[in-house]
Amino acid sequence: MPGVRFESLTGSEHPEVVAARKEVRSSVRRVLLVLPPLSVTSGESRGASATSTPPLGLGLLGTHLAVKGHDIHLVDCHRFPELLDDIIELADSYDIIGCNVVISTLRSTMELFQAIRRKTAHPLLIVGGPAANLDVWRFSAKSDEESEAWDFAIPSAAVNALDDLLQALGSTDPWPSTQHLVANPLSQILSFRGIRESLGSLPKQLDLSWMEIDVDRRIYQGPDGVYEPAHTRDLSGSVHEAHVVMSQGCDWNCAFCTERKDLSGGERRRSVEQVLAELERLSSSYRDLRIQFIDDNLLPQISALATHDLTGQAQAKVWTSAFLNGLREVREGRQGSFGWRGIFRVEDFFSYEESFGTHEFVAKLVSSGCRMLAFGLEHGDENRRKRLKAGADYKNAEIVSLFKRLRDAGIQTKAYFMIGGQWETAESALDTIRFALDCGATLAYFALYKEFVKAVHVLSEERGPSSRHDAFAEYSQMAVVWDATYSAYLSDPSMKGLSSPATQIEIESYAQLAKLGFRFSDIVKYNDHHADSDSSSSILSNVTWGEPSEYFSIIETAYRRFYLRPEFVHEYSKLVREGY
């Protein structure tokens, strides 16, 4: 079973055991897959936004390798940052350590690899994920030691690339280097065998191999056992939630997003049959089941299709009909409860309502078990939203009406907003908070704006250390201490620790929410930000209208105003009862 234990294979053993293990390891490789922390430094800075979502991409890769007979372990350092020390300590017991890296974990991963290399030369160290896909990794080292610390980058087709690399482990030929598996020419580990000459610059192909893998959720093991699917906030403890991915990439070019079409290559989507087969297997194992579809777009992006692309629109409608009908059959064919949630673009939702009929489409969602839909609204100001989001030509009044339709049908809503960035001011940020309260959303998240798209261009073009490169590679995490502060307020009303004193309504609301299991640390997401360091402080200043302290105060205000209301206490109680 993959991922059962995370420990070293070294120690005192009987000679026969050592010999048998050596023979097995000649064909069975030990691989550690890691979702890196935001910081290698010990303490709270290691952590990341709390999330129930496991690293599904790593799980798919791990499942593929486990099926081939390899010994696979997976460590999610966002969920378990304390395991980072074990990774460094036990590194020499692995053949490969691979990290899925995003822009905000570039520095921490480089420092992790450097720490491992200082201890051992045994495991190959590889990097994949957006940092490799977007080509922002290869030139991110700040010293010669960091430049030599990694061995391979996997920019695409990760399944095939890992297969090639594992095969190469048993060879004495030069190491492969292709468009899918980029060898580091400065790696001292690879230099002993040499590196085979690259096949040249071939067109980058979209990776579709992940679609064929049915993730083995036993790979998600932590100190307390399997955490996927996990129990929801349901107080009875009987409801489990599983996470399912149906697509990658996007067909839009939003200003802030690294999944934009010109960087991701567009959307790739699994077949309805594959998705439903996975749901049937999950449904047979858990009586009361919730599914969270973690795709950026729940359904095919019908509004991104040109009006003359009638074939594409028809295909999107066929996929959607089969998907929702299949979900209804899964729901109706079981004894326990079943429900799901996912993410929509507002204009897609409007397009599907127009295609199916407003009442018919919402009715299809309800009958399929839809319990919550999330929407990336991004801003409360219509003009700023249109600048940020490609195609976002809809009015606030239309959003309010949509959320009311869903609420009347029994579907809860979640709204994603961003605060900061280009064209933002303190007043426009407060406009977003006001709209979050007025739009009727059940939940709201307020992400801290990052210049990720600009970072992609800078980090991929700057060939070596520079102040500009460092500026776009350094990130910190906003500390969320509000739970401790409000808990202290319950016994000491003179308690300090907030940007403005807590009101009595806030204190009473928090007390009631806490009894239901509410914690700000569970709610606050996407709270990494450009670091306030010598190199990156100018970027932080630029995206916070030149007033970082006021900016973070407004972020706090957003969460306090939205969640510490008597109305939300009622909403949250309902969510918990329904297995959220």
DSSP string, 511-536: HHHHHTT--HHHH----EEE--STTT
What is the H or E stretch that residue 268 is in? strand 268-269
Q: Tell whether the model's pLDDT for residue 7 goes beyond 60.
A: no
Token digits for 34?
């890691």
Q: Tell whether the model's pLDDT for residue 354 goes beyond 50.
A: yes
Q: At 473, phi and psi to the nearest 5?
A: -105, -5
pLDDT of 397 reads: 96
In this prediction, residues 268-297 reach a mean pLDDT of 90
Global pTM value: 0.88
Alpha helices (H) along 333-451: 346-356, 358-367, 382-388, 396-408, 426-438
pLDDT of 29 reads: 93
391 backbone φψ class: left, alpha, beta (φ>0; ψ -120 to 50)? left
The CA distance from 442 to 403, in Å, is 9
- Contact present, 495 and 489 (Cβ < 8 Å): yes
Q: Tell whether the model's pLDDT for residue 14 goes beyond 60.
A: no
Confidence at 11, pLDDT banded by 50, 70, 90? very low
pLDDT of 4 reads: 41
Q: Who's near 502: CB < 8 A, 6+ residues apart?
A: 485, 486, 489, 495
The CA distance from 540 to 453, in Å, is 15
The CA distance from 231 to 221, in Å, is 14
DSSP string, 146-174: HHHH--EE--S-HHHHHHHHHHHHT--SP
The CA distance from 516 to 519, in Å, is 9
481-511 pLDDT, tens digit per residue, is: 899 999 888 777 777 788 998 999 999 999 9
**Helix, strand or coil for residue 312?**
helix
pLDDT of 1 reads: 32
Token digits for 547?
């007033």
The CA distance from 515 to 518, in Å, is 7
Helix axes 396-408, 346-356, angle to 10 degrees: 60
Token digits for 94?
């692995």
- Contact present, 411 and 370 (Cβ < 8 Å): yes
- Contact present, 563 and 523 (Cβ < 8 Å): yes
Q: Tell whether the model's pLDDT for residue 198 goes beyond 70.
A: no
pLDDT of 515 reads: 93
pLDDT of 42 reads: 63
The CA distance from 381 to 532, in Å, is 28
Confidence at 525, pLDDT banded by 50, 70, 90? confident
The CATH-assigned architecture of domain 15-191 is: 3-Layer(aba) Sandwich (3.40)
What is the end-to-end Cα distance of the chain in Å, rounded?
Answer: 30
pLDDT above 90 covers a percentage of the chain that reads 51
Q: At 228, phi and psi to the nearest 5?
A: -145, 120
36-47 pLDDT, tens digit per residue, is: 988 887 655 555
182 beta partners: 153
Cα-Cα-Cα-Cα dihedral sign, residues 198, 200, 204, 207:
negative
DSSP string, 14-61: -HHHHHHHHHHTTTSPEEEEEE--S-SSSSGGG-----S---HHHHHH
- Contact present, 199 and 179 (Cβ < 8 Å): yes
Using a 10 angstrom Cβ sphere, with 0-12 exposed, 13-18 middle and 19 or more buried, the burial of residue 224 is exposed
pLDDT of 15 reads: 58
Give the residue among 239, 109, 235, 317 at the shortest CA–CA distance from 574.
235
109-164 pLDDT, tens digit per residue, is: 999 999 999 999 889 999 999 888 888 888 888 889 999 999 999 988 888 899 99
The CA distance from 132 to 57, in Å, is 14
Q: How many residues does the chain have?
A: 580
Q: Tell whether the model's pLDDT for residue 538 goes beyond 50.
A: yes
What is the chain's alpha carbon radius of gyration, rounded to the nearest angstrom?
A: 24
